[in-house]
Structure 1
Amino acid sequence: MSSFVGRADELEEIGKLLARTRLLTLHGAGGVGKTRLALKAAQNVREDYPDGVWVAELSSEINGDLLAGRVAGLLGLHPQSERPVLETLTEFLAERRLLLLFDTCEHLAGPCADLIVSILTGAPDVRIIATSRQELGLPLEVVMVVNPFPVPPPEAADLARYDAMRLFLDRAKAVAPGLRTDERAMMAVARLCRRLDGVPLAIELAASHMRGLSATQLADQLDDRFKLLADGEGLLIRHHTLRTAAGWSHELCTPAERLLWARLSVFAGAFDVESACGVCQDERLPDVPAVLSSLATKSVLARVGDHYRMLDTIRDYGRDWLNELGEGKLMIRRHRDHYLSAARRMDAEWYGPRQLEWAYWAHKELPNLRTALNRCLDAGNHRAALELGGALWVLWCHLGLIREGRYYLERALAACSPGPDPVKSRTLWVVAHLALVQGDMVLARSRAEECVENARRYGDAEAEANAYLRLAGSCLFTADLDGARAYALEGAVKFKEVELGSAGEPSVPLLLAMAATFGGDFDEAVEILREVRLRCEDHGELSIRSLCDYALSLALFNRGEVAEAARAARTSLEIKWQLRDVVGTVLAVDQLARVAAAAGDGGRAAWLLGAAQRIWITFGLPGLGADAMTTLRQGAATRALELIGAADYDTAFREGMASPIEATVAYALKA
């Protein structure tokens, strides 16, 4: 959000190193500017990489098991199948020329090193820049040490040529536009930069205090701080510079600012004002929004859109103070409870007009949701993990995080005591749903049956109904249409016992309509779907409505109404992509390929089939493993081949396969 200052020699050196090495690690202490330097260097060489420069910011990821999935998702792969994510990722990268930037690797040095070795082994034209406070220890690694800025010696005359001076003045003028730059002031700035050893973050923190202070006053205060520390702890070594600057900045904060700084360290990644209030506000901090704003003016926080974020080094300092205050466990609990409460609100309001708002919230808050789940699991609080993971069923089932949801929920189930437990019911049907989408019908049925038994024991009609829906889905995908209808109707009976209604209720007629379509009764399917679609519209519901649009497109297509089928499929795709529902997205793209083939556009059909294939690869089973679905794809491919011939088909298919998902959606939505 601020200008880039200096580092001309380092940028030139990085450009040379990238021409002859495949792994470059920018190594240095916290606050020295590794990330800013890496981003600027990556920007400078962007044109050398036809498949792009991709930045994986890893500071909020604390689980090495999910690292490959994070990188795959960054590249638009969204791997969901039982197939190893690393296999999918390296296969995708094998034929691409791109640059990956892994930012902040030190807390996951081992998993990062393993992932990098796999990528570089399987993808010969990929290069990687890593930033880390420690070397990764790999034989192929070239390490470039990022040092603080050179500082002007006391006798220096041309002070303005030093990057440390330029950085301070640039940041100071942002908070104090009338800043004096006469000789006396410049000498004070030089003294201040020397005291801070040229560490960029320390300089920026100091510059943020120029509102109301002169450079001389600021340098004098900092001198006093360093002398006090040297007297108390002996010789002050360079390693302590940033911590000393952070401590000095901390002392210049008000008591309320210091307390909020400490409490905010519990967050991972960015957070909004509502979350900060929910976790940190109490009688000791009654006005969190005002204190957030003042911390941002002092560079303790950075404002990014409607969220705030804290640099890792600043967060580390705050976390130490939080533990010193004895509030560490309290804030972790408040953080968990805040996100559990929010997840429950999302659950309660999902069947309604706020779906896009909740989808935005869930995707934006992913780092904090992951952190809360990991803390529960790591602390042995498995029932809390079950409760939070289950409450986030919308994120796993509707918003595309299929594999990640199954990972967390299966971990929580495995860690809990065996036997019935009321908290398990929702987790069981959610896992059944995720397994169903991944094509694992055996697990889907076993988890759904276990849920039915558990839910009956505790009188949980909603969970029992949702379990029946997953059993109906497993029958539908294995061509047992009678079984699908029977389980769907059992679910309908149980949903009637739920007092306030349920977000799963519209799925009953949807399943019945899909069974009618697969059974050849297209008129019945259209009638059911139009009725349930109106019901969803009345509630402002989008997710199930868009699945109804997809199913309606199938039925209309089979009635010969190709233009209407195309409109329904595009409507479905538009919503599914807004929700980032990868399953719904790829189903709609497949259907639009069928429409294109039926309309005589073989090139468009082949391109869309290739683009869909790239997404299906991440599931391992095209068409969710259902013969009825894969037959539709095969029919479109056969027709497209007839229209344009094998050579042109292969060319268009490969072009589609190379398309990122964003471009695929944009192309598919064109009429």
Structure 2
Amino acid sequence: MPRGNLPVAMNSFFGRAAELDEITKLLTGTRLLTLHGAGGVGKTRLALQAARSVRDDYPDGVWVAELSSETDGDLLAGHVAGMFGLRARAGRPALASLVEFLADRRLLLVLDTCEHLVDPCAAMVTAILTGAPDVRIIVTSRQELCLPYEVVMGVDPFPVPPPEAADLAGYDVMSLFLDRATAVAPGLRTDERAMMAVARLCRRLDGVPLAIELAASHARGLSAIQLADQLEDRFRLPADGERVLVRHHTLRTAAGWSHELCTPAERLLWARLSVFAGTFDEESARGVCADECLPDVAGVLAVLVAKSVVARVGDRYRLLDTIRDYGRDWLDELGEGALMRRRHRDHYLAAAHRMDAQWCGPRQLEWARWARGELSNIRAALDRCLADGDHRAALELAGALWVLWCHLGLVREGRHYLDRALAAVPAPDRARSRPLWVAAHLALLAGDIPLARERATESAESARRHGDGETEAHAHLRLAGACLLVGDLEGARGYALRGAAGLRQAEPTSSGLFSVPLLLAMAATFDGDFDKAVEILRETRRHCEARGELSQRALSDYIRSLALLGRGEAAEASAAAKAALEVSWGLRDAVGGVLAIDQLARIAAAVGDGFRAAWLLGAAQRIWSGFGLPGLGADTMTGLREAAAARAEGLIGETAYARALAEGAASHFESAVTYALRD
């Protein structure tokens, strides 16, 4: 298991020595510590710095879940579970899988930005602390969780030098400003008069770190004295000239002042970027924000980064929550809120359709990375459609994202959105036809075969009624899969061939045609006709390689491994299963990965390596428990697994088998893949 996901610090950390010492002491005696304070006060930076200082105390690492982009409390536990590589299990709440995974771990979990999900966070934290005795949690929030065992530590702004202070060098707030300001203006004056102006500026901003950094970003064009003078004006009331300095207004005032120092184009892009959730890339910023009023998005974006309005995260960008809130208010004031939400939706809908069209080709890894990187924005688009009553758009988007749900491991989340959208668009409606076969596919992956049949049958009937031959054919392929999993091989062949005929007539180049030979080969394998299966798959693999297709090629290799082992060719079967596993792991396809690990366990048992077989069975059991039913709930596949377990136990004995099984079950997906790929 990796030792956490603690991000590398992007710049230097100043001060907070007393707070860091206090956090270290508190973590030795409390399991839930909430860092509580206003926006921009530095809660996240403090939590991460504290986590870096204590990470050696946690053998299973420090894990950081950034929650600002998560808006649905029902998906919260799945969000955190996904960070650990866990996948939802059919009929089992994600929280239960998460707690089971954490039960024997010793780690520190940082839940960052929880104030908008206080109740769901409190419920999740309670379950984790109850079921995982060696897990400690740091929460950052503007609101307390109000749990009886919660220790709350207030995070205040930096102390600021009083007007009469003669020694300014000992104040961390001064060091923070000078560090950030000289980064953009290396020749910044630091004589006594300039330092007095910096002290005045820090007092005006009440020592709020984010406000200080915003001010420092303007040092390229303004001296410290000019910055302080302009801020002085911002804090004056026209009526009597008295300064208003209320702490919780300070950051907003600083954001407003920074906003005034931006050009019209910079202000417009700031407002429009507020429509994004989490991070975004430059291409998406252009796609959503560019028009005749804002033609140079890339150039303006670079300036906003230099002014600390937009933060750079690797090759992506994000707005901090307070900055995003200010931009969103300005967007509504401009009257563009609805327009930008619509552009955001349309951008991700168009991208989802492109991913669908290009998935069975050479860009699969690229699209897999895109989908994972844009998950927060995809969720935001779906949530907005559902909240705004744009249900048909939600249904179209959820259906178009079938690759994300079916091939990239987000089965539970896909079912969540499809179920909500289908419920909001009642039958009969043509918009339901395609999403229904996607929902059927997800039900198959979750082992819910009766629901898969129901969804696929309704999809076929709806598509037939509306003259949609391609969708009807896809529905038949899902019915073929359902027949296959219950051992109805003739039914599987029949539906597969009907699906193939429908696709050739409706869409001769459809990627769905890749599924037909795989279904037929699987049916032949289950029927004991291993030579026929290998023959079918030889041609299928050639087509996959010619098209640059990886996902179906991996499934082809998995089925070929089953057939080769059936012919007694263990070495060849092992090579095929490993090829399937390598591709599935590269795509982070949990279903394909765990099927390959199960198969490698069978091969190990067949060649007499009982320990390896037991270890791999344990690892696969752990993965299945976080995703779905073993063997997709099919007796034909679980029987193979049970036979391998019985042979492994017979080879090494009950005690050794139990020990190896437990060792495998304690492994992380990544560790299981590494072990499984060894010779």
Q: TM-score, normalised by structure 2?
A: 0.97
Q: 1:244 & 1:212 partners in 2: Cα distance?
A: 20
Q: In the superposition, relative to structure 1, how do residues 17 and 638 fare at CA in structure 2: closer, same or farther (>3 Å)? A: same
SS of alignment partner, residue 504 of structure 1: helix
Taking the TM superposition and a 5 Å limit, the aligned residue runs for 1:114-513 are: 114-228=123-237, 235-416=244-425, 418-513=426-521
Q: 1:175 & 1:230 partners in 2: Cα distance?
A: 36
Q: Over residues 592-633 of structure 1, what are the superposed CA-to-partner deviations in whole Å (9 max), with x where a residue is unaligned?
A: 112222233222222111111101112342111111211221
Kindly indicate whether the alpha-carbon contact (under 8 Å) linking 2:235 and 2:243 is maintained by their aligned counterparts in 1.
no
- Determine which of 12, 32, 42 is the counterpart of 1:33: 42
Q: 1:86 & 1:183 partners in 2: Cα distance?
A: 57
Task: Identify which range, 261-270 or 464-473, moves more after superposition.
Answer: 464-473
Q: 2:167 & 2:252 partners in 1: Cα distance?
A: 29
Q: 1:442 & 1:177 partners in 2: Cα distance?
A: 68
Q: In the superposition, relative to structure 1, how do residues 236 and 162 fare at CA in structure 2: closer, same or farther (>3 Å)? A: closer
In the alignment, what sits opposite 2:3?
none
- Determine which of 579, 585, 591 is the counterpart of 1:577: 585
- Determine which of 575, 600, 620 is the counterpart of 1:567: 575
Q: 1:186 & 1:233 partners in 2: Cα distance?
A: 24
Alpha-carbon distance, 1:659 to partner: 1.0
SS of alignment partner, residue 653 of structure 2: helix
Q: 1:445 & 1:48 partners in 2: Cα distance?
A: 50
Q: Over residues 74-101 of structure 1, what are the superposed CA-to-partner deviations in whole Å (9 max), with x where a residue is unaligned?
A: 1221113111222222222222222211
Q: 2:271 & 2:677 partners in 1: Cα distance?
A: 47
Kindly indicate whether the alpha-carbon contact (under 8 Å) linking 1:34 and 1:131 is maintained by their aligned counterparts in 2.
yes
Stretches of structure 2 lacking an aligned partner (at least 5 in a row): 1-9
Counterpart amino acid of residue 172 in structure 2:
D
Q: How many correspondences in the alignment?
A: 670
Q: 2:249 & 2:350 partners in 1: Cα distance?
A: 40
Q: Over residues 156-213 of structure 1, what are the superposed CA-to-partner deviations in whole Å (9 max), with x where a residue is unaligned?
A: 2321221101111111121112223222222111111111111000000011111132
SS of alignment partner, residue 217 of structure 1: helix
In the alignment, what sits opposite 2:650?
642
Alpha-carbon distance, 1:238 to partner: 1.9
Alpha-carbon distance, 1:588 to partner: 0.6
Q: 1:474 & 1:527 partners in 2: Cα distance?
A: 24
Q: In the superposition, relative to structure 1, how do residues 571 and 175 fare at CA in structure 2: closer, same or farther (>3 Å)? A: same
Kindly indicate whether the alpha-carbon contact (under 8 Å) linking 2:236 and 2:243 is maintained by their aligned counterparts in 1.
no
Alpha-carbon distance, 1:366 to partner: 0.2
Q: In the superposition, relative to structure 1, how do residues 368 and 232 fare at CA in structure 2: closer, same or farther (>3 Å)? A: farther
Q: Over residues 20-43 of structure 1, what are the superposed CA-to-partner deviations in whole Å (9 max), with x where a residue is unaligned?
A: 111111000000000011111112
Q: In the superposition, relative to structure 1, how do residues 528 and 300 fare at CA in structure 2: closer, same or farther (>3 Å)? A: same
Counterpart amino acid of residue 603 in structure 1:
F
Task: Identify which range, 478-487 or 117-126, moves more after superposition.
Answer: 117-126
Taking the TM superposition and a 5 Å limit, the aligned residue runs for 1:592-671 are: 592-671=600-679
SS of alignment partner, residue 296 of structure 1: helix
In the alignment, what sits opposite 1:77?
86
Q: Over residues 23-80 of structure 1, what are the superposed CA-to-partner deviations in whole Å (9 max), with x where a residue is unaligned?
A: 1110000000000111111121112222222111100000001011111111221113
In the alignment, what sits opposite 1:518?
526
Counterpart amino acid of residue 664 in structure 2:
G
In the alignment, what sits opposite 2:6?
none
SS of alignment partner, residue 101 of structure 1: strand
Kindly indicate whether the alpha-carbon contact (under 8 Å) linking 1:351 and 1:502 is maintained by their aligned counterparts in 2.
no
Alpha-carbon distance, 1:645 to partner: 2.2
Indicate the RMSD between aligned Cα atoms, in angstroms: 1.4
Q: Give % identity.
A: 73
Q: 2:454 & 2:128 partners in 1: Cα distance?
A: 36
SS of alignment partner, residue 227 of structure 1: coil
Q: In the superposition, relative to structure 1, how do residues 270 and 356 fare at CA in structure 2: closer, same or farther (>3 Å)? A: same
Q: In the superposition, relative to structure 1, how do residues 229 and 80 fare at CA in structure 2: closer, same or farther (>3 Å)? A: farther
Counterpart amino acid of residue 513 in structure 1:
A
SS of alignment partner, residue 261 of structure 1: helix
Alpha-carbon distance, 1:347 to partner: 1.0
Alpha-carbon distance, 1:230 to partner: 8.1
Kindly indicate whether the alpha-carbon contact (under 8 Å) linking 2:86 and 2:627 is maintained by their aligned counterparts in 1.
no
In the alignment, what sits opposite 2:4?
none
Q: 1:580 & 1:168 partners in 2: Cα distance?
A: 43
SS of alignment partner, residue 55 of structure 1: strand
Kindly indicate whether the alpha-carbon contact (under 8 Å) linking 2:236 and 2:244 is maintained by their aligned counterparts in 1.
no
Task: Identify which range, 497-506 or 322-331, moves more after superposition.
Answer: 497-506
Kindly indicate whether the alpha-carbon contact (under 8 Å) linking 2:237 and 2:244 is maintained by their aligned counterparts in 1.
no
Q: 1:126 & 1:539 partners in 2: Cα distance?
A: 47
Q: In the superposition, relative to structure 1, how do residues 229 and 612 fare at CA in structure 2: closer, same or farther (>3 Å)? A: farther
Q: 1:609 & 1:47 partners in 2: Cα distance?
A: 31
Q: 1:641 & 1:208 partners in 2: Cα distance?
A: 66
SS of alignment partner, residue 512 of structure 2: coil
Q: 2:500 & 2:239 partners in 1: Cα distance?
A: 74
In the alignment, what sits opposite 1:544?
552
Stretches of structure 1 lacking an aligned partner (at least 5 in a row): none
Q: TM-score, normalised by structure 1?
A: 0.98
Alpha-carbon distance, 1:431 to partner: 0.5
Task: Identify which range, 275-284 or 50-59, moves more after superposition.
Answer: 50-59
In the alignment, what sits opposite 1:46?
55
Q: In the superposition, relative to structure 1, how do residues 526 and 192 fare at CA in structure 2: closer, same or farther (>3 Å)? A: same
Kindly indicate whether the alpha-carbon contact (under 8 Å) linking 1:269 and 1:367 is maintained by their aligned counterparts in 2.
yes
Counterpart amino acid of residue 518 in structure 2:
L
SS of alignment partner, residue 161 of structure 1: coil
SS of alignment partner, residue 335 of structure 2: coil
Alpha-carbon distance, 1:412 to partner: 0.5
Counterpart amino acid of residue 545 in structure 1:
R
Counterpart amino acid of residue 592 in structure 1:
L
Q: In the superposition, relative to structure 1, how do residues 233 and 56 fare at CA in structure 2: closer, same or farther (>3 Å)? A: farther
Q: 2:407 & 2:94 partners in 1: Cα distance?
A: 21
SS of alignment partner, residue 423 of structure 1: helix
Kindly indicate whether the alpha-carbon contact (under 8 Å) linking 1:229 and 1:236 is maintained by their aligned counterparts in 2.
no
Q: 2:351 & 2:241 partners in 1: Cα distance?
A: 46
Kindly indicate whether the alpha-carbon contact (under 8 Å) linking 2:235 and 2:244 is maintained by their aligned counterparts in 1.
no
Q: Over residues 403-428 of structure 1, what are the superposed CA-to-partner deviations in whole Å (9 max), with x where a residue is unaligned?
A: 10011001101111x32222111110
Task: Identify which range, 327-336 or 304-313, moves more after superposition.
Answer: 304-313
